[in-house]
């Protein structure tokens, strides 16, 4: 089935990313990485707030105790939208000055998983980290290029992960108690013709919804059968992340980066936030427990 998405917010982000639905507040969070912007959208009130963070911001998740956890260029920080106070908590990869933090999500135990991106001239120098509630940092994967989409199965036994340049979705056995991952396998191979897999979310049926950078949409795969079962077509080329709301609505971020002047003129909605109504619901997203 092919679904069509509509523009929800005319944000014109250079690199919109990191869509996260907060079911408690019924807010959507997302970021514009290169412009250092955090967005908080209240769909019911049709209100969209913008915060200038002052540096690149790769991802955002809510904190269990209130406020937000941000993955900045080289640090993980807490941010209070009510006061504007930003407090850096830990630093990551200070020894790799050209790397930066990128996509991140919390696992069902409230640990924050965040990966890095390395420049093309220094391939396989990025990694995936787990930040525990006590703010201890654990390197979980190395040899990564662009760490991106990460989700967990609803039964907490599987973790799905994307290293974008590999053009595939990998699956791990996940240990809920320890946070360990083992038995890495390729789950889905994404054809080059479909673009590069970027951000990802999972629905209540265990299906993976994957934003396709350069691929004009979001694809949904059944990881058990490896079948492509849904496709959301967008009028813009660079699709970056997606997250389900409470009623089956799928929020989708996009980017203007890497478009030629001609492409940017033709794709007037590039960088905007889109929304499409689906016939499924998303699996729960988790807050940071630190």
pLDDT digits (tens, 9 = 90+) for 97-140: 999 999 999 999 999 999 999 999 999 999 999 999 999 999 99
Which residue in 123, 131, 130 sits closest to 99, CA to CA?
123
CB 173 within 8 A of CB 153: no
Distance CA 20, CA 2 (A): 23
Collapsing DSSP to helix, strand or coil, 210 comes out as strand
Q: Residue 4 pLDDT > 90, yes or no?
A: no
pTM: 0.97
Q: What's the CA gap between 16 and 220, in Å, rounded? A: 20
Whole-number pLDDT of residue 185: 98
Question: Token digits for 49?
Answer: 């707030």
**What is the bridge-based pairing of β-strands 137-144 and 126-131?**
antiparallel
Average pLDDT over residues 227-231: 96
Which domains, ranges and CATH numbers included, belong to the chain? 2-277 (2.120.10.30)
Judged by DSSP in three states, 264 sits in: helix
Indicate the pLDDT class of residue 1, thresholds 50, 70 and 90: low
Distances in Å between the Cα of 90 and the Cα atoms of 69, 87, 131, 203 are: 11, 10, 9, 32
| Nearest alpha carbon to residue 57 among 39, 74, 36, 76 | 36
Residues above pLDDT 90, as percent of the chain: 97
Q: What angle do CA 143, 175, 89 make, to 5 degrees?
A: 65
């Amino acid at each position: 089935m092919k679904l069509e998405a509509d523009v929800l917010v005319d944000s014109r982000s250079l690199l919109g990313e990191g869509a996260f639905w907060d079911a408690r507040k019924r807010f959507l969070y997302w970021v514009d990485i290169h412009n250092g912007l955090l967005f908080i959208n209240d769909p019911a009130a049709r209100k969209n707030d913008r915060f200038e963070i002052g540096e690149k911001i790769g991802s955002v998740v809510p904190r269990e105790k209130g406020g937000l956890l941000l993955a900045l260029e080289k640090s993980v920080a807490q941010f209070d939208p009510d006061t504007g106070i930003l407090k850096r908590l830990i630093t990551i990869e200070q020894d790799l000055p050209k790397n930066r933090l990128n996509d991140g999500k919390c696992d069902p135990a409230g640990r924050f998983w965040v990966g890095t991106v390395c420049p093309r001239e220094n391939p396989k120098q990025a990694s995936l980290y787990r930040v525990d509630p006590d703010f201890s940092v654990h390197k979980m994967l190395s040899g990564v290029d662009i760490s991106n989409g990460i989700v967990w199965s609803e039964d907490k036994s599987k973790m799905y992960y994307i290293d974008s340049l590999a053009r595939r979705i990998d699956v791990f056995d996940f240990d809920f108690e320890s946070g360990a991952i083992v038995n890495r396998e390729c789950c889905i191979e994404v054809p080059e013709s479909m673009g590069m897999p970027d951000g990802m979310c999972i629905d209540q049926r265990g299906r993976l919804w994957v934003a396709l950078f350069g691929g004009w949409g979001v694809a949904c795969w059944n990881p058990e059968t490896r079948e492509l079962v849904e496709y959301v077509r967008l009028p813009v080329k660079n699709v970056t992340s997606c997250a389900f709301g409470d009623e089956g609505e799928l929020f989708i971020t996009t980017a203007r980066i890497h478009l030629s002047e001609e492409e940017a003129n033709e794709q007037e909605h590039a960088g905007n936030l889109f929304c499409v109504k689906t016939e499924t619901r998303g699996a729960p997203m988790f807050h940071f427990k630190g």
